[in-house]
């Protein structure tokens, strides 16, 4: 019966719970491993799907999003998690903005926010209803994954999303966004609060649909100095964590572990320990042993091989990965890259990386 796959009930029993155990600080037999952007452009089978369908069509079609989510698991049986295929920019879309994905360029907003008065044009009401397709993809994938590994849901963090909405796409300098931070702090906080409200309800919808762990991507934290991180990022990350926890409890759902990944947030690890997350993601600029000293024993660390290291030989990747895992140790650790895998990465690199993690300790 095809319809049963769209109901978030009677999911197959989870057979590999290493990721969830590590996130919660429980003992594991092996270090769990997954890779940011593991469902994506380095895979020829993904390219085949993309040749036939526009990026956001894949996101909006549960069968296609599910297929693409499962692709890396077929090729790399050592992966201990899946992450639902979608994008952080589906939230600005749900708020009424147009976002296009231009091949070779990345995301493009034809009409970015040009002035704080435009914040009032954003359609907060019904935003999560317009994202129900993500929930449908999660539910379908939870059924099709047959309990092999847990399914991760995700969102962009408020500051990162605001940056894209103002810049109209990726930006090396974030000059417009920084101008807003200086000139219009009140409006900036209004927009970050709006995004935070939507994100909390979006994540709750993902949990109700079957997401087993949630990751919040603050991918643009590398643009923020310490005072800016304290003012424009940390409070909202904290509100998202506590908001999700409180709403899960109020709805009598099962709690899910949460990960914060602030790219460039290495200098602010002390602040990140105060945000309430179970796992803190690290980019490759952070030394594993230094990070452990700062965060202590009550957090799981995730990361952090440089994605560029996957362009080395399988032998070198194996060696570097084993060294990394040995530095982090088996306790409260999830192996990953320090940022997303890049498009030209050789297929055998992922194999070398995932196998080495399991064999390292
Ligand atoms: O991790 C996964 O495999 C799940 C899917 C996923 C995608 N984007 C698919 C994608 C996830 C978790 C994201 C998150 C995302 N999207 C982030 C945060 C993570 C990070 O890398 O910092 C950000 C900043 C975006 C916005 C975005 N989407 C950019 C900047 C780009 C272009 C650059 C790039 O790396 O490709 C995208 C496009 C995108 N998102 C692709 C995929 C597979 C490639 C687009 C294509 O197929 O044409």
Pocket test for ligand 1, best of 34, 37, 79 (most atoms within 8 A of CB): 37
Which is the closest atom of ligand 1 to the Cα of 86? 5
Among 213, 259, 201, 245, which Cα is nearest to 84's? 213
Burial class (CB in 10 A: 0-12, 13-18, 19+), 321: buried
- Catalytically annotated residues: 37, 41, 50, 87, 164
Start-to-end CA distance of the chain, whole Å, equals 43
Pocket test for ligand 1, best of 66, 82, 87, 97 (most atoms within 8 A of CB): 87
CA separation, residue 316 to residues 111, 309, 358 (Å) = 45, 8, 16
Task: State residue 217's pLDDT score.
Answer: 98
Tokens of 43: 């895979």
SS (H, E, C) 112-127: CCCCHHHHHHCCCCCC
The DSSP secondary structure of 81-106, one letter per residue, reads -EE-S--TTHHHHHTT---EEETTTE
Pocket test for ligand 1, best of 340, 343, 344 (most atoms within 8 A of CB): 340
* Cβ-Cβ contacts under 8 Å for 347 (sequence gap 6 or more): 42, 43, 44, 75
What structural domains does the chain harbor? Answer: 3-360 (3.20.20.210)
Task: State residue 1's pLDDT score.
Answer: 55
Residue pair 336/304 in contact (Cβ under 8 Å)? The answer is: yes
CA-nearest residue for atom 38, ligand 1, is 106
Which is the closest atom of ligand 1 to the Cα of 72? 3
Which is the closest atom of ligand 1 to the Cα of 169? 30
CA separation, residue 48 to residues 84, 220, 277, 323, 332 (Å) = 18, 30, 37, 35, 37
pLDDT tens for the 361 residues of the chain, in order = 567 778 999 999 999 999 999 999 999 999 999 999 999 999 999 999 999 999 999 999 999 999 999 999 999 999 999 999 999 999 999 999 999 999 889 999 999 999 999 999 999 999 999 999 999 999 999 999 999 999 999 999 999 999 999 999 999 999 999 999 999 999 999 999 999 999 999 999 999 999 999 999 999 999 999 999 999 999 999 999 999 999 999 999 999 999 999 999 999 999 999 999 999 999 999 999 999 999 999 999 999 999 999 999 999 999 999 999 999 999 999 999 999 999 999 999 999 999 999 999 9
Which residues approach ligand 1 with their CB closer than 6 A? 36-41, 50, 55, 83, 85-89, 101, 103, 106-107, 154, 170, 217, 219, 263, 339-340
SS (H, E, C) 188-227: HHHHHHHHHHHHHHHHHHHHHHCCCEEEEEECCHHHCCHH
Residue pair 163/223 in contact (Cβ under 8 Å)? The answer is: yes
Task: State residue 2's pLDDT score.
Answer: 62
């Amino acid at each position: 019966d095809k319809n049963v796959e769209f109901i978030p009930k009677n999911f197959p029993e989870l057979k590999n719970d290493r990721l969830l155990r590590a996130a919660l600080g429980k003992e594991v037999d092996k270090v769990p491993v997954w890779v940011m952007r593991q469902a994506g452009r380095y895979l020829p089978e993904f390219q085949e799907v993309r040749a036939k369908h526009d990026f956001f069509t894949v996101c909006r079609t549960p069968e296609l999003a599910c297929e693409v989510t499962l692709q890396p698991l077929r090729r790399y049986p050592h992966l201990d998690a899946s992450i639902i295929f979608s994008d952080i920019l589906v939230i600005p879309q749900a708020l009424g903005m147009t976002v296009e994905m231009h091949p070779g360029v990345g995301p493009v907003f034809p009409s970015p926010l040009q002035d704080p008065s435009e914040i009032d044009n954003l359609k907060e009401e019904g935003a999560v209803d317009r994202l129900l397709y993500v929930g449908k993809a999660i539910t379908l994938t939870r059924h099709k994954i047959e309990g092999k590994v847990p399914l991760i849901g995700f969102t962009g963090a408020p500051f990162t999303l605001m940056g894209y909405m103002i810049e109209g796409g990726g930006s090396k300098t974030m000059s417009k966004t920084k101008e807003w931070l200086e000139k219009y702090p009140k409006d900036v906080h209004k927009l970050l609060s709006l995004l935070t409200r939507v994100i909390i309800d979006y994540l709750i919808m993902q949990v109700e649909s079957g997401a087993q762990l949630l990751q919040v991507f603050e991918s643009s934290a590398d643009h923020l100095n310490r005072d800016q991180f304290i003012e424009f990022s940390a409070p909202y990350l904290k509100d998202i964590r506590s908001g999700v926890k409180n709403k899960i409890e109020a709805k009598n759902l099962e709690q899910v572990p949460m990960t914060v990944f602030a790219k460039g947030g290495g200098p602010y690890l002390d602040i990140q320990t105060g945000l309430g997350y179970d796992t803190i993601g690290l980019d490759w600029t952070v030394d594993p042993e230094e990070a452990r000293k700062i965060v202590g024993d009550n957090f799981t660390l995730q990361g952090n091989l440089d994605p560029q290291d996957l362009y080395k030989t399988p032998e070198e990747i194996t060696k570097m990965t084993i060294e990394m895992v040995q530095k982090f140790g088996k306790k409260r650790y999830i192996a990953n890259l320090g940022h997303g895998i890049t498009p030209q990465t050789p297929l055998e690199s992922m194999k070398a990386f995932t196998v080495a993690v399991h064999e390292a300790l």
